[in-house]
Amino acid sequence: MKRRDFVTRILVTGGALSLGIGCRRKIEPDFKKESEISGAVDQKTGRTITEPERQIPVLSETDVLVIGGGPAGTAAAIAASRTGAETYLVERYNHLGGLWTGGLVLPLLSTHAIDKQKNRKQVIFGIGGEMARRLKDLGMSIHEINPVVDPEAAKYVLEEMIREAGVKMLYHTWGSNVIMDGNIIKGVSVESKSGRMAILAKIVIDCTGDGDIFHFAGDNYDVMNYAIGLVHRLGNVDRINTSKTGYVKLNVGQPTPIPSVNWYNMWGKENQDALDVLNLSQLQMDYRREIWENVQKIRQTPGHEEVFLLDTASQLGVRMSRILDGEYRLTLEDTMTFKSFDDVIGISGAWTTILYKGKKIPVAERPFWQIPYRSLLPRKTDNLLVAGRCFCFERELVEDTRIIGTCLVTGHGAGAAAGLAVKERENLRNLNTGKLKQLLKQQGAWLG
Amino acid sequence: MKNLFRSSNLRTLSFLMAIVLALPLSWKGLTGFHTWLSPFIMLNSVIAVKSFVWLNIVAFPVLLFVFFRKRWFCLNLCPAGWCFDRISALNKDKTYTYKRLPDIGKWLAIISLASAIIGLPLFLVFDPLAIFNGFFTILSGGMNIFAIISLSGFLLLLTIHFFYPGVWCAKLCPLGGLQLVINDLTTRLKLFFNKQKPLPHGIDPGRRYFLMSGIGLIAGITIPKFLKPPAEIIIRPPATVAPPLLYSLCCRCGNCIKACPTGIIKYSTDFTGIPAWMTPEISYESGYCLETCNLCGQVCPTGAITLFNFRAKGQLFMGIAKVQLENCLLFNNIECVKCKESCKYKAIAFVAKENILNMVPMIDKDRCVGCGACEVICPTDCIHIAGVIIN
């Protein structure tokens, strides 16, 4: 072959190839155009001081210590105490029920879901179901599915149940740190009017919602910023005079079991850091002013003169903050496919329509879902259980895990597990899940 | 093994494969694979869009075979031809040669390819594989009666073959016509190399041309009235080419409809815009356009839906979400975050309307691609995707 022929062939081949590649048709992403929303700027000064070492009194040495008296904490304390363990419950406000009562988020959501036969039925039983039933017997809850309760009645019922179960109650007390020994929590130090004290315990249940205890204990977690709101209630909504001249229909919230009272939800500002006290304080002040001004506007509208602001919630409506990195991360897929776990501790339902694999699944067609014991277990700390909105799940599931119904279920499961572990003198990780399931069933829980 | 490659067996095999892949059984990228084998679709597409995708290569060997073997595709691969032959065989009484019928298919092929050069391939819809594949789209469900009638062209052709055996393959099929053109080329080349003069063939003017010119006149007067573009802006799959080209480039094979995992692509049957008849349209009833999917682009044999990387979906605009606030739960202070949560492009933000108690969803025009997730999920149906003009 002549050299010129050879070169010609190379040129022709190269030309054909480059033409070919040049004519290729595919749209590729342009990453330059994509910009990410930048996070909030950290404005902390970074200055610190060292606390002097000091002796603190030991308040008590107990079997089970529950930090946080929200729906999960209350259920956990009752379950543990009923199992026979000496139980302390630490609550920072003056009431039980957390956001359900003090936060005025009154609906007990996700009580129902469909079973494998496609029948929509109640799925939340156990201690949570007992609370709902007792409120209904008092005439203090409306709606069969996802009942809305009266907050004062709920505070009363929860406290009565705690009293009956023999739980040792500590109000106005804040779990402020953990006392660690390797991977074991020996106890929790609490702050109150009596100063700092320690409560030593065999097992600690973190029901703080924000995951304060697993944070102090050094476990890994994910922080999810979300919208924070502040709920309020309006009184005299039954005295709105619709026939008055100049009357216009206004949004006055949703009905509660008390006919003259409505609760008024607030979505609030997006992407808020619930772990920054300066932020929480600012939000609290802004929200209270906004609510006051909005109620004045309502009162100035013809027909609404007698409506008044009954109360703003005593707790800011923090929806999400920390999410535990536990032994098992519950996924959206698990909840949509009737996934069955050997170590199931409870079943929750669904309250919203969702998109699953690109398709719309209406709330009335959503299956019930099992919660495994492992997703309440932190990876590092050995004698800690986590219940409430901060147990281990993937973010896609947040709408179903952060609500009252699920919190009651995880609380019950954690409390029973702690009680059983104390009774059996067994490590939480080696707990016999068969016995746990049996115990939960004895306590009225439904496990599918 | 040798028997397998005998033309009849190969074609039966090809038919079986084609029918299985034409069924809406979520074959993903393989959906309607036979449309890629058609050199007619490939040439029109490549010439019209002046670019190609790698899968276009599969039609090249077919072209090569056709070059050396007359009607190689028809005899060895064509699933539609297989069906037509079976029906034709039922009619034992008649034999037709169709000598008097002109080679319509050949002219369809020539005109189509010529018009493809100026970016308007005219007769892609007559490709037999598009007709064959399109027919099975009926089984994917959710079709209205007009779409089903339009897709029944294949049944019509089957019926015709009972009365006129082999007429489509012999005279009408543009894919067959293309092969005839290529064979003419082969013959001419052979003659050229053998230094022989081409065979003379005269034209026979007469009644036929008189009739044809009459029909042409009537068509010229009436057709433009039907050829108005649709009044509404139709929401198309991502990376669909802009309308005038789309109308002719889309061969209506239904591959995208069958491949769509959420089943949101439908045939458009809008009487106000006949040129857009049976082109793919999106309706967000059962699902939305998944952010991790580019199957419609993968399976489109003509490039009417350009192949795209699914990571580029944030820049492929289909429409834009519009919110009607009256029924919005959030606006009415009922806990709902569905639209914002479902938006994979971070195009929805909740902002205070008058005060913080009145949060409302706001759509970011630059980010919203109109994937429809929010429309589908909205519990009160207050979000709708509006079409946008795509450049």
Hey, are the CB atoms on A399 and B337 less than 8 Å from each other? yes
Compute the distance between CA of residue B134 and CA of residue B277 in angstroms, rounded to an integer.
Answer: 13
Band of pLDDT at residue B202, cut at 50, 70 and 90: low
Query: Would you state the pLDDT for residue A342?
Result: 94
Mean pLDDT (whole number) for A308-321: 95
Percent of chain B with pLDDT over 90: 16
User: Which A residues, 138 through 197, put their C-beta within 8 Å of a C-beta on chain B?
Assistant: none
- Tokens in use for A70? 């929200």
Q: Taking CB atoms and an 8 Å cutoff, what residues of chain A touch B337?
A: 227, 267, 399
Q: What is the mean pLDDT of residues B181-204?
A: 72
With CA atoms as reference, report the closest residue to B133 among B277, B250, B305, B297: B250
- Complex-level ipTM beyond the 0.85 threshold: no
CA B150 to chain centre: 13
Instruction: Retrieve residue B313's tokens.
Output: 């979906």
* Model pLDDT, residue B161: 87
Last residue in a domain, options B175, B201, B226: B226
Sign of the CA dihedral with B20 first, then B26, B30, and B35 last: positive
In a domain, B120, yes or no: yes
The answer to whether residue B56 sits within a structural domain is yes
Number of alpha carbons in the 13 Å side-chain half-sphere of residue A11: 6
Q: Given a cut of 50, is residue A39 above it in pLDDT?
A: no
Q: Could you tell me if B221 and B323 lie in one domain?
A: no
Does the global pTM surpass 0.90? Answer: no
Q: Would you say residue B207 lies in a domain?
A: yes
Give the pLDDT confidence of B171-181 residue by residue, as tens digits.
Answer: 889 999 999 88
Strand, coil or helix: what is B200? coil
Q: Which one is predicted more confidently, A351 or B219?
A: A351
Q: Distance, in angstroms, between B45 CA and closest chain A CA?
A: 11
Q: Which amino acid is at A323?
A: I
Question: Is the residue at B103 inside a domain?
Answer: yes
Q: How many domains does the structure of chain B reveal?
A: 2
Note the pLDDT of residue B3: 58
Q: B232 lies in a domain?
A: no
Is there a domain that residue B241 lies in? no
One domain, residues B208 and B325: no
Please determine, for residue A427, whether its predicted confidence score (pLDDT) is greater than 90.
yes
- Are B174 and B37 part of one and the same domain? yes
Per-residue model confidence (pLDDT) at position B205: 56
Residues 220-249 (A) with a CB less than 8 A from some CB of B = 227
pLDDT tens across A387-412, in order? 999 999 999 899 999 999 999 999 99
| Nearest CB to B338; choose among A29, A254, A353 | A353
| Contacting A residues, span 105-134, partner chain B, CB-CB under 8 Å | none
Cβ distance of A25 and B346 shorter than 8 Å: no
pLDDT band at A11 (very low <50, low <70, confident <90, very high): confident
Q: Chain B contact for A270, CB < 8 A?
A: yes
Q: pLDDT at residue B204 above 70?
A: no
Q: How far is CA B96 from CA A168, B167, B177, B179, in A?
A: 100, 8, 18, 21
Residues B327 and B188 in one domain: no
Residue B377 lies in a domain: yes
Please give the structure tokens belonging to residue A174.
Answer: 């804040």
Residues B105, B222, single domain; the answer is yes
The one-letter code for the residue type at B52 is F
Residues 322-351 of B with CB under 8 A from A: 330, 332-338, 341-342, 346, 349-350
Reduce the DSSP state of residue A318 to 3 states and report it.
strand
Residue A33 has pLDDT above 60, yes or no: no
Residue B282 lies in a domain: no
B204 & B337 share domain? no
For residue A162, pLDDT over 50 is answered with yes
Quick one: pLDDT at residue B223?
Answer: 67
User: Which residue in chain A has the smallest CA separation from B374?
Assistant: A355
Please tell me whether residues B195 and B330 are part of one structural domain. no
Q: Are residues B198 and B338 in the same domain?
A: no
Chain B neighbors of A266, CB-CB under 8 A: 333, 356-357, 359
How much is the pLDDT for A359?
79
Please report, for the domain that includes residue B361, its CATH number.
3.30.70.3270
CB nearest B312 (choices: A29, A268, A358): A29
In this predicted structure, what is the pLDDT of residue B102? 84
Question: Which of A8-12, A44-48, A178-182, B20-24: highest mean pLDDT?
Answer: A178-182
pLDDT for the residue A35: 43
What are the residue ranges of helices labelled H in A1-121?
A: 3-22, 71-83
Buried b (16+ CB within 10 A) or exposed e, B93-131: eeeeeeeeeebbbbebbbebbebbeeebbbbbbbbbbbb
Question: Is the model more confident about A358 or about A161?
Answer: A161
Containing structural domain, residue B131: 3-226
User: Is pLDDT of A36 > 60?
Assistant: no
Q: What is the DSSP string of B168-192?
A: IIIII-HHHHHHHHHHHHHHHHHHH
Among the candidates B201, B226, B251, a domain finishes at B226
Pairing of strands B383-387, B319-323: antiparallel
Q: Is the pLDDT of residue B339 over 80?
A: yes
pLDDT in tens, B358-367: 889 999 999 9
> Domain end: B226, B249, B279, which one?
B226
Return the higher-pLDDT residue of B332 and A347.
Answer: A347
Which of A65-69, A155-159, A438-442, B72-76 is least confident? Answer: B72-76
| B219 & B352 share domain | no
- Mean per-residue pLDDT, B48-65: 87
